[in-house]
Amino acid sequence: MQLRCEEYLKSVAPTEEYNGLKAKAAKTLFKAISKSVEKDSDIKWNFTKFLISKDGETIKRFAPTTEPKDFEKDIEEMLA
Under the banding of pLDDT at 50, 70 and 90, the label for residue 28 is confident
pLDDT for residue 2: 56
Q: pTM of the entire structure? A: 0.67
pLDDT higher than 90, residue 74: yes
Please state, for a pLDDT cut of 90, what percent of the chain lies above it.
16
Among residues 44, 55, 63, the alpha carbon closest in space to that of 6 is found at 44
CA distance 29 to 15: 16
- Residue 50 host element (H or E): strand 49-52
3 confidence band (pLDDT: 50, 70, 90): low
